[in-house]
Structure 1
Amino acid sequence: MATAEFLATIPPWAALAPRELAAIAESFTERTVPSATAVFRKGEALEGLFIIVSGQVQIVDPANPGETISLLGPRNTFGERGLIVDGLAQASAIALSDVTLLMLPADDFRRLLERGEEFYAFFARRRAARPAVKTLAETQVAALMSAPPRTVPPEMPIAEAAAILRDERISSLLVVEAGALRGIVTVRDMAARVVAERLDPSRPVAGIMTHDPTTLPADALGSDVLHMMMERGISHVPVAGVSGLAGIVSKTDLTRFQAETSADLIGDLASAPDIEGLAIVADRIPKLLVQLVGAGNRHEVVTRLITDVADTVTRRLLRMAEAELGPPPVPYLWLACGSQGRREQTGTSDQDNCLILSDAMAPGDDVYFAALATFVSDGLHRCGYVYCPGEMMATNPKWRQPLAVWRRYFAGWIAKPDPMAQMLASVMFDLRPIGGEVSLYEGLQGETLEAASRNSIFVAHMVSNSLKHAPPLNLLRGLATLRSGEHRNHLDMKLNGVVPIVDLGRIYALRGRLTAVNTRARLEAAVAAGVVSERGGHDLIDAYDLVAQMRLEHQARQARRGDRPDNFMAPTVLSEFERSHLRNAFVVVRQMQAAATQGHGVM
């Protein structure tokens, strides 16, 4: 493929007129870089801007060995950050395979930036959206933890355990028996439970340990650790790997990261004395949104942190409800669906939730759970998570049922996929446990995905249902705004923006039996599993990133002005360059919707 033809397939070059593109294409040179060879290293003078034609390139920061900043493939661009800043590489780029590159010399790139503000804006947006150094919210705990963990048996005398803490200069020990984690002992336990209580140091360490500590998987985020610490008042979190304990993360491990804003919010929510106190803290969410977006965080990071806040509010309300109503008569599980279930909440969200109850419940037990659901739902409403207009809440008896009933629900929706069943299934495929007995959900998701994916009629109905949400394009592929009502001449960045992509992600998860619930994670998993073509999948991810980011930036602008965030954006706030890219993103969505219908007899 000729250079100009290749450039015409990727932004921002695709926005140029053919004659301009042909002239710029002549400035590019082609280069082949062997596998395991550096394209450039951090601190070196950059020759120019690079675009990958084939192969993979890993962007790494030598200051954090083993930490990948990004993994790039065909049609990805890199090097612009250094060229815009000072001409020096801000990180190292290593070829993971034999790579073919196009290189635009630095002087030509700078002259290109001077052509106009809109072309510069594209690269400036990329620079702001992809920070060179990961934040705590983007860093997996595998890169934070102390490994391997120091373990001791439960029968070890307290004195010996204390000596290990002193001699090895560590702050915690994991108590392990027969390969299983039984507890954790910290320096604070030694002071509070041994010295202060004048306990016999020859007694076994099992007597002072915290039993069955909560663990996190190695792919959890650093923010998950910090939020758990703030919510539960702990300072150490064990990390579980594929084959057992992988390590432990302490507060000390987190001190070099800056995630205090969301963590402080989580901590204040977890200690709020009553619903009014929760509501006062929740009122700070718009400010958090402004800070996170203003700091250049990517949309999936912002929505994850905003959703963490909602999760904490929910769990605090559950504890308050149990304190007022007494212990539950049987185990239960509170689950979120919708945007909270997908961890995609923004500055404006209603509540979508349900309760799965133990099959052991007696006929009169629902009185307790009805009261619990009302308490929590009313509390969420008071904190800004308004009641669901469609009553998709645990206060509705239909969505507060024993596990056996939930199994019948899913089986019935799949067997008879009428329009209502499609809608309900769409919402319930996004379930995520929030508080209670998680084992009540284990197996239900896998069973449902397997049964649904085998039913081609159900899949066809789901695809057909997803097409009801169309991207806002007119016949000439221009942006189509709302024609009437309060939000006339605005784009609905939710129903016509992100929702069509959310629907596609759900369909891919259904077809591939993918357990991811988050939309971006579903799209990435679909590409990896071959459910969708690599090129189409990556185009859709790029389109989703653009639409979701613009939606968040719109809400942040509103919150900064003191207005209540919404999903209705006037195209006039965007430059022509941005509108062009938004149109292109919606075209990708429309094309992927059409591709999703192939082979499924959509009605």
Structure 2
Amino acid sequence: MADAEIPEVTDFLAEQAPFAAVPRTDLERLARRMTVRYARRGTLLMSVGRGNDEVFVVRSGAVQITDDSGTLVDRGEEGTAFGTTALDGRPSRFDVEAIEDSLLLVLPSAAFHELATAHPAVGDFFSQQRASRLRHALQAMPHAQRRTAVLQTRLRDLVRREPITTTGDATVREAAQLMAREQVSSLLVVDGGRLTGIVTDRDLRTRVLAAGLDSSTPVSAMMTADPVTAGPDDIAMELILEMTSRNIHHMPVVGGTDGRTPLGMLTSTDLMRLERANPIHLVGDIAKADDLGTLVVLSQRLPRIIDQLVHEDATADGIGRIVTAVGDALEQRLIGLAERELGPSPTAYAWVVLGSQARLEQGPGSDQDNALVISDDATPADLPWFEALARFVVEGLVACGYPRCPGDVMATNPQWRRPLREWRRTFTQWIDEPVPDAILRSAIFFDLRTVHGDDTLVEELREQIRRSAPRGTRFLAHLARNAAANEPPLGFFRGFVLEREGAHKDTLDLKRGGFHAVVEVARVHALSRGLPQVSTSSRITAAAGAGGLSDETAADLHDAFEFIRYVRLLHQAKQIRAGEPPDNFVAPSELSSFEKRHLRDAFQVVRSAQQTILHSHPLGHVT
């Protein structure tokens, strides 16, 4: 290969799996050992039963791979690599034919073996099936998209000093003096070297000074006993998720054989050194906001956090959980402000979120889906209070950037603001007497989570669903049909199916037949087995544990779900930086060849899962 072509070929390889995980200097050496070969349409590049001593990478054009029975296995375009299964004289299991005039990068067998030895991920990539390659793609996302790996930092590397500890029988005065002397905002309380509690400066203010406790009170009387802890091998991203979801600012790091020996303390300030925009602080500031105007201003910090997380090393799942935690905090604070204005609730109730927020999968631009479950003790005279609550919260969420639900699935709709007994009747009707259109509209209600109020009301509904859904054969068949109705946007021949009209014409919908199809498949698996999990990932894992999915299929679904959502987040981050509203529609020209190829893999995993769910819940049950 001519020296002038080396940089261009190196750039090309750096965008393809598995070469994206290889350092550039090694890629340049690899490019120098490659040759370029032209293949006319119809050229047979590999034959069943024959070995070869070369590995091919499609530079342009397309190839078709069939097995020994002539069955189509795959069609690959730019970036497709093949040939490794027949190296060193091993008989090929496939025919590979150029179905377009193609340019191929050709790597000798010896060079490939050297590469695979130096970089085991390369060899692993080619030894896997397509769905398993998707797993490697997640690990080898083009690193030009990511600036650092700070969120993968182990907590042991963040702990800067030995833990400052006291004992439970020390007095509050002694604890406060120790904190002042050491200039720390918290103390770990130990007994026999084991962590038993934590005391923070906030505890001193609220539990001692504000409560009028004597300074001679023992620490054990006002500490937080058995606090949430983290381990030294946990990563920073996990710590951020835990602290954000719980709205806490101090996390003891513990280890030892019993897992209770204090190793140090990490605070949200420590994490600020890692991240310029910290979701923990945002959630804390929201909880302290005193009016809607402040909440509106605070909510405007979320896009910056999302953009940062996308371009660091956070997963799509982790980003979804953080965005949800911020959404939960806003909703909870709006309810608090509403109760301050309206007065105390006349009876018990639960404010419930539905859909992506309930599943901890909220993303940029998500609209609101919520409902109210009111105690059966409520009287007609109580109902206006709940109407006013719903109006206050829904309008507040709109002001904070959460659009109204286009389907009016909000607590302001009287249909979704009802006493528990009426909710029970509704779920019974949905499951026992399913109507197709009603099931389509109601599916979102089977992903529900309490964010404020009396969760026992909602637990009654969850228990009803767990008991009755597995017996609802027609209900599950309707859900399965809906889950399979939105097919992934793949054409028969290697291309994507694009939107044909409307505002998103000529773009690819990553939601309808992509990640949301996985949501729907996972929901059917969970409901059919009476599983309590709500998030898509936990439903997939639980379904595998219950025998509903093989471990391999579950892993493939996890990977497809994560990959499609991550590509969407990259797209949405670009829109946020450009000041555009985020959506789920991406133009093919916006995607790298790496992303196109593995989106194709992911969509094929989704399509297979949809077919499986249809076979499990046949359409013959739908009348």
- Give the TM-score of the pair, scaled to structure 2: 0.69
Aligned to 1:255: 270
Aligned to 1:16: 80
Question: Contact 1:490/1:570 (CA < 8 Å) preserved in 2?
Answer: yes
Question: Contact 1:139/1:221 (CA < 8 Å) preserved in 2?
Answer: no
Aligned partner of 1:493: which letter? L
* 1:191, distance to aligned residue in structure 2 (A): 7.4
Aligned to 1:573: 590
Question: Contact 1:13/1:21 (CA < 8 Å) preserved in 2?
Answer: no
Which is worse superposed, 592-601 or 321-330? Answer: 592-601
Aligned to 2:452: 435
> Is residue 484 from structure 1 mapped to residue 548 from structure 2 by the alignment?
no
Superposed CA deviations along residues 302-335 of structure 1, whole A, max 9, x for unmatched, are 2221222111111110111011111111122211
- Unpaired runs of 5+ residues, structure 2, are 1-47, 57-64, 66-72, 88-106
* 1:454, distance to aligned residue in structure 2 (A): 2.5
**Partners of 1:501 and 1:152 in 2: how far apart?**
50
Q: Percent identity?
A: 36
> Is residue 547 from structure 1 mapped to residue 560 from structure 2 by the alignment?
no
Aligned to 1:316: 333
Aligned to 2:364: 347
Aligned partner of 1:305: which letter? I
Aligned to 2:527: 510
Superposed CA deviations along residues 123-147 of structure 1, whole A, max 9, x for unmatched, are 45279679866448x989xx99x99
> Is residue 589 from structure 1 mapped to residue 606 from structure 2 by the alignment?
yes
Q: How has the CA–CA distance of structure 1 residues 213 and 16 changed in structure 2, closer, same or farther, with 3 Å as cutoff?
A: closer
* 1:221, distance to aligned residue in structure 2 (A): 4.1
* Secondary structure in structure 1 of the residue aligned to 2:124: strand
**Partners of 1:217 and 1:364 in 2: how far apart?**
48
Q: How has the CA–CA distance of structure 1 residues 127 and 21 changed in structure 2, closer, same or farther, with 3 Å as cutoff?
A: farther
Alignment of 1:104-143 (within 5 A): 123-125=140-142, 134-135=151-152
Question: Contact 1:157/1:202 (CA < 8 Å) preserved in 2?
Answer: yes
* 1:383, distance to aligned residue in structure 2 (A): 0.9
* 1:392, distance to aligned residue in structure 2 (A): 0.5
Aligned to 2:37: none
Aligned partner of 1:437: which letter? D
Which is worse superposed, 471-480 or 557-566? Answer: 471-480
**Partners of 1:482 and 1:174 in 2: how far apart?**
60
> Is residue 51 from structure 1 mapped to residue 124 from structure 2 by the alignment?
yes
2:539 to 511, 522, 525: 522
Aligned partner of 2:80: which letter? L
Superposed CA deviations along residues 88-140 of structure 1, whole A, max 9, x for unmatched, are xxxxxxxxxxxxxxxxxxxxxxxxxxxxxxxxx9945279679866448x989
- Unpaired runs of 5+ residues, structure 1, are 31-38, 56-72, 81-120
Which is worse superposed, 478-487 or 276-285? Answer: 276-285
**Partners of 1:221 and 1:273 in 2: how far apart?**
30
Aligned partner of 1:572: which letter? S
Aligned to 1:264: 281
Aligned partner of 1:444: which letter? L
Aligned partner of 2:496: which letter? L
Aligned to 1:63: none
Aligned to 1:118: none
**Partners of 1:159 and 1:511 in 2: how far apart?**
57
Question: Contact 2:253/2:264 (CA < 8 Å) preserved in 1?
Answer: yes
> Is residue 472 from structure 1 mapped to residue 536 from structure 2 by the alignment?
no
Aligned partner of 1:447: which letter? Q
Question: Contact 2:332/2:452 (CA < 8 Å) preserved in 1?
Answer: yes
- Give the TM-score of the pair, scaled to structure 1: 0.71
Q: How has the CA–CA distance of structure 1 residues 194 and 381 changed in structure 2, closer, same or farther, with 3 Å as cutoff?
A: closer
Aligned to 1:226: 243
Q: How has the CA–CA distance of structure 1 residues 273 and 237 changed in structure 2, closer, same or farther, with 3 Å as cutoff?
A: farther
Question: Contact 2:351/2:453 (CA < 8 Å) preserved in 1?
Answer: yes
Aligned to 1:463: 480
Which is worse superposed, 398-407 or 425-434? Answer: 398-407
Q: How has the CA–CA distance of structure 1 residues 131 and 238 changed in structure 2, closer, same or farther, with 3 Å as cutoff?
A: closer
Q: How has the CA–CA distance of structure 1 residues 364 and 135 changed in structure 2, closer, same or farther, with 3 Å as cutoff?
A: farther
Question: Contact 1:477/1:587 (CA < 8 Å) preserved in 2?
Answer: no
* 1:478, distance to aligned residue in structure 2 (A): 2.5
Alignment of 1:292-371 (within 5 A): 292-371=309-388
Question: Contact 1:469/1:499 (CA < 8 Å) preserved in 2?
Answer: no
Superposed CA deviations along residues 218-244 of structure 1, whole A, max 9, x for unmatched, are 999422443367x57x657899xxx99
* 1:438, distance to aligned residue in structure 2 (A): 2.5
Larger Rg: 2
Question: Contact 1:172/1:236 (CA < 8 Å) preserved in 2?
Answer: no
- Over the aligned positions, Cα root-mean-square deviation in angstroms equals 4.9
Give the number of equivalent residue pairs. 518
Aligned to 1:401: 418
Q: How has the CA–CA distance of structure 1 residues 213 and 12 changed in structure 2, closer, same or farther, with 3 Å as cutoff?
A: farther
* 1:494, distance to aligned residue in structure 2 (A): 1.9
Question: Contact 2:533/2:539 (CA < 8 Å) preserved in 1?
Answer: yes
Question: Contact 2:484/2:517 (CA < 8 Å) preserved in 1?
Answer: yes
1:452 to 445, 469, 472: 469
Question: Contact 1:459/1:600 (CA < 8 Å) preserved in 2?
Answer: yes
Which is worse superposed, 379-388 or 485-494? Answer: 485-494
